[in-house]
Structure 1
Amino acid sequence: MQQLAFYQSLWATERRRPGVPERPVSERFDAVKADGYHGMAIDLGAMTLEQARATVPEFARTGLGGLLTAFPQSVDDLRPAIRLAKDIGSPFLIVIGQVMPLSVAGMIPVIREWLALARAEGMPLQFETHRDCITNDLFATVQLLDAIPEMRMAADLSHYVVNREMLYPIRPEYRALISRVLARCDSFQGRVASRNQVQVPIGFPQHAKWVATFLDWWTEGLAGWRGRAGPDDTAIFMCELGPPEYALTDARGDELSDRRQEALQIRAMVEDRWKALGA
C-alpha cells in the first residue's frame, strides 16, 4: 500500500536567536522523533559537510529516516553530497543547484551532467523549486522540464509565489504552470507563502486564503504522485518551517508564531487530505 512519510528539517529546529544557544543536535533529533515524524532532513545550505557528517550516528540512534539537500557549486561538487546521502539512507538527493547560467539553453547541459553523475552513483535526484538557484524562476523551470523529460522535482512552491509576486486569487496561467511543475514532483515541502513573504504564520486569519491555496496544491501534487507511483511506494512530505529570517519576528526578535506547532498543524491537514485521496 502506498504510504506518506512526514519529515522534519534539522535547520527548521534552529532558534537563531542572538544570545540564545542552540539545542544540541542529539536533543533536536529526539524532539523530532517524539513528535512522530518519520525522518529528518539535513540541509547543506545550513551547515558544512563536516557538520552534516557528524549527524550520521543520530539516524541509527533514533531510527529516523534520512534526507539530504545539497547546494552544489559545480558538477563535481555533487559527489561528496551523494556519499553523505547514502550514509544517512536518503532515498534521493534534493538539489538546489548553485550553477546558474543566464539562459535556459545554458542550464540544460548542467542539469544533464548532474543527472548523469547521479545515475552513475546510483542516487536519484530531485531539483527543488527554490530561489537563488538554477530553478529560481518558474518560467525557466517549466522550459527545463520540457527539455529534460527525466528531470524530477521537489516542490517548495513558496519560492515561486514570492518570486512571481502572485496575486490572490492566483491567475489561471500561473495555476497552469504550477500544475505542470507538480506533475513532475516526487516530494513536497510544507511552507505557506504570500506574494510578499516566503513564510507566513498559518494561524493568522489574513493568511487563511494562502493556507487553502497551498493545501490544494499539495493535494494536487500528492494525487498526481499516487497515480504514477508503485503500489508500495512512499511519498515524502517535509514540514520545513525555517527559523528567522524566514520566520517573521517582532521588534525584539521574538517569533510571531510557534513553528513547531504550525508544522504539526500542516502535517495534520496534509494527512487528512492524503486519507481522503485514498478513500
Structure 2
Amino acid sequence: MQLKTFKTLWGNQLSIDDACDQAISAGFSGIEGQAPSSREQQIEMLNAIKNSGSDYIAEIVTGGDYVPNRNWTVEQHLDDLKRQIESSLMIAPLFATCITGCDAWEESQSIDFFQRAIELSDSYGLTISFETHRSRSLFNPWTTLRIIEQLPNMKLTADISHWCVVCERLMDSEIPTLEALSNNVHHIHGRVGYDQGPQVPNPAAPEYADALKSHQGIWEMFWTKQYLKGYAFSTLTPEFGPDGYLHLMPFTQKPVADLWEVNQWMGATEREHFKQFRQTLQP
C-alpha cells in the first residue's frame, strides 16, 4: 500500500493551473476541493488537472455553507448533494469527500439521510466518503459509531481534529470507539487539533508534539485497517486552513504561520511517517 497526499484548495489564492502545478512540485499527488458549478470552469479545472498530471478528490458541502443552514430539510440536502455530484463527475474525481447533514437532526433522521445519500452516489457510480465534521451529523465519535452500525457500508473521511474540540480532549482517550469505526475510514484529513481548537497554530512546534503524536497514532490505526482490506493506496489531505482556524495576532490580524508552508510540512512529514509505518507491516 502506498500513500497519496493532496493539496487542499481551501484558502487557495492561485489559479487552478498554478495550484495543480504547485501541488505536484511540492510532492503531492493532486488536489482536493469543490468543483465549480459552471461548465466552462469545470473544463478549465479538468484541463489543469490533466496537464499537471494531478489526481483529484472532489469536495461536496451541502447546506449552503460549511456550517449548514439550520432550516434546511433532508430533501434540500439531498438535492444539493445531487447537484454537486453532477458537477464533480465532470472532473473525473477518484472519489468525493462530503460535509453534510446537521448535528441537530435526530439520529434516525441522519441514518435515513445517509442511506439515501449512499444510494444516490451509487446511482452515479461515485464513491462518497462522509466527513466527521463539527455542526454536522458526524460531529462526535459515539454518534458516528451508532450511525455506522446501522449503515456498515458507509465510508468516512476521518478528520479527528473536529472531535478534539467537540470533546475537549485528544482522541487517543477514545481508542476503542475509533477502532470500532476504523473499518469504515476511507480518507484522512491530516489536520492536527487540540483540546481547545480544531487547528494547532503550527504542528511542527514542540509544544504541540503530543497532539501531533496522538493524531499520527490514530492515522496508523486507519492505515492498518486499509492495508488489511487490500487498499492499493491510502489518501491523506493536510487541511490546515483559514476562516478562524488559522490563529491571528491580536490587533494586527497577522497570521502566526504560513498555511502553505504548514500544509507542505504536514504532507512531507506524513509521507515520511507512512514510509516508517509501512516497514512495520507484513510484506
Task: Give me the TM-score of the superposition, normalised by structure 1.
Answer: 0.86
Q: Matched residues in 2 for 1:52 and 1:154: separation?
A: 26
Q: Deviations over 1:96-125 (max 9, x none)?
A: 114556221121111000011111111111
Q: Matched residues in 2 for 1:43 and 1:163: separation?
A: 25
Match of 1:182 in 2: 182
1:24 matched to 2:15? The reply is yes
Alignment of 1:124-273 (within 5 A): 124-166=127-169, 170-171=172-173, 174-200=174-200, 201-230=202-231, 233-251=232-250, 252-273=252-273
Structure 1 residues 162 and 43: alpha-carbon distance in aligned structure 2, compared to 1, 3 A threshold: farther
Q: CA deviation at 1:170?
A: 4.3
Kindly indicate whether the alpha-carbon contact (under 8 Å) linking 1:5 and 1:236 is maintained by their aligned counterparts in 2: yes
Match of 1:18 in 2: none
1:96 matched to 2:99? The reply is yes
Q: Deviations over 1:152-177 (max 9, x none)?
A: 101111001111111x5843xx2222
The AA in structure 2 aligned to 1:37 is F
Q: Secondary structure at the match of 2:130?
A: strand
Sequence identity, in percent? 18
**Which residue of 74, 77, 85 maps to 2:88?**
85
The AA in structure 2 aligned to 1:105 is S
Q: CA deviation at 1:33?
A: 2.2
Match of 1:49 in 2: 37
* Structure 2 unpaired stretches of 5+: 64-76
Q: Secondary structure at the match of 2:203?
A: coil
Q: Secondary structure at the match of 1:217?
A: helix
Q: CA deviation at 1:190?
A: 0.9
The AA in structure 2 aligned to 1:62 is S
Q: CA deviation at 1:24?
A: 3.1
Q: CA deviation at 1:89?
A: 2.1
Match of 1:11 in 2: 10
CA RMSD of aligned residues (A): 2.1
Kindly indicate whether the alpha-carbon contact (under 8 Å) linking 2:27 and 2:268 is maintained by their aligned counterparts in 1: no
The AA in structure 1 aligned to 2:112 is P
Q: Matched residues in 1 for 2:120 and 2:82: separation?
A: 8
Structure 1 residues 97 and 37: alpha-carbon distance in aligned structure 2, compared to 1, 3 A threshold: same
Corresponding pairs, count: 262
Kindly indicate whether the alpha-carbon contact (under 8 Å) linking 2:103 and 2:137 is maintained by their aligned counterparts in 1: yes
Q: Deviations over 1:56-99 (max 9, x none)?
A: 33212222111111123421322222223322221211111145
Structure 1 residues 108 and 42: alpha-carbon distance in aligned structure 2, compared to 1, 3 A threshold: same
Structure 1 residues 63 and 84: alpha-carbon distance in aligned structure 2, compared to 1, 3 A threshold: farther
Q: CA deviation at 1:185?
A: 0.4
Q: Matched residues in 2 for 1:189 and 1:229: separation?
A: 20
Q: CA deviation at 1:134?
A: 1.9
Q: Secondary structure at the match of 1:222?
A: helix
Q: Matched residues in 1 for 2:214 and 2:164: separation?
A: 11
Q: Matched residues in 2 for 1:169 and 1:115: separation?
A: 27
**Which residue of 125, 132, 148 maps to 1:122?**
125
Q: Deviations over 1:121-154 (max 9, x none)?
A: 1111111111112212322111001111111101
Q: Matched residues in 2 for 1:77 and 1:99: separation?
A: 14
Q: Matched residues in 2 for 1:163 and 1:93: separation?
A: 24
Kindly indicate whether the alpha-carbon contact (under 8 Å) linking 1:9 and 1:43 is maintained by their aligned counterparts in 2: no
The AA in structure 2 aligned to 1:55 is M
Task: Give me the TM-score of the superposition, normalised by structure 2.
Answer: 0.85
Structure 1 residues 179 and 85: alpha-carbon distance in aligned structure 2, compared to 1, 3 A threshold: same
Match of 1:17 in 2: none
Q: Matched residues in 2 for 1:220 and 1:151: separation?
A: 18
Q: CA deviation at 1:12?
A: 4.0
